[in-house]
Amino acid sequence: MNTISRISQFSGLVFVAAGAIIFAANAYSAVSVKFTKPEGFADMPFSDSGKEDVYKELRRHFDKLGAKLPAGQDLKIDIRDINLAGSIEPQRISTDGDFRVLRGGADFPMMEFKYVIESQGKVIKSGDARVTDFNYLRGLNRYSANEPLRYEKKMLDEWFVKEIVAEKN
């Protein structure tokens, strides 16, 4: 095999690999999560690291939800307010992090956000959502007791199935 044949063969492989990368990039959904005016959120941890943990968990969870969208659809979330399940009692604040007390009354989780689902720059669906779970301590929760934001994740799962997945069928 001469040098020109090898270069041609190598160029063909590069072209095929580049095409596969472009196809893969177009086949997967992208998710972006933004937190608008987080200093005004109804209920967040006191520490900066605690707040960052909440943001990271919510981003991760919306990534999982976005992965369930059809290929090429992107999910954009703009979170406007968060009220975590339970409440922090002043006498129970520790240096290790917030200690949340879950009573199942008026301490239910709530989240307000704007969402947009796009495909190739075209809006497929958008809206404002205010999701709550008044009965967060009752019923089944597939997330373990150790799972951060387990009640909020369950609440978001239910919203996603009802508002996004159900619309597709």
The confidence score (pLDDT) of residue 97 equals: 62
What length does the chain have?
A: 169
Res 10: pLDDT: 46
CA quadruple 113, 63, 23, 161: dihedral sign: negative
The set of residues, in sequence order, having a beta carbon less than 8 Å from that of 76 and lying 6+ positions away, is 31, 32, 34, 115, 116, 117, 118
Taking a C-beta distance cutoff of 8 angstroms, is the pair 66, 30 a contact? yes
Q: Residue 124's pLDDT is what? A: 94
pLDDT at 26: 46
Q: Is 146 left (phi over 0), alpha (psi -120 to 50) or beta?
A: alpha
Q: Where are the alpha helices (DSSP H) in 2-159?
A: 3-27, 48-66, 150-159
- The pLDDT of residue 87: 83
Which residue positions in the chain have pLDDT lower than 50? 7-8, 10-26, 169
What was the pLDDT predicted at 103? Answer: 73
Q: Could you write out the DSSP letters of every residue in 8-38?
A: HHHHHHHHHHHHHHHHHHHHS--EEEEESSG
**Token representation of residue 169:** 């069928």
Residues 116 and 134: beta-carbon distance below 8 Å: no
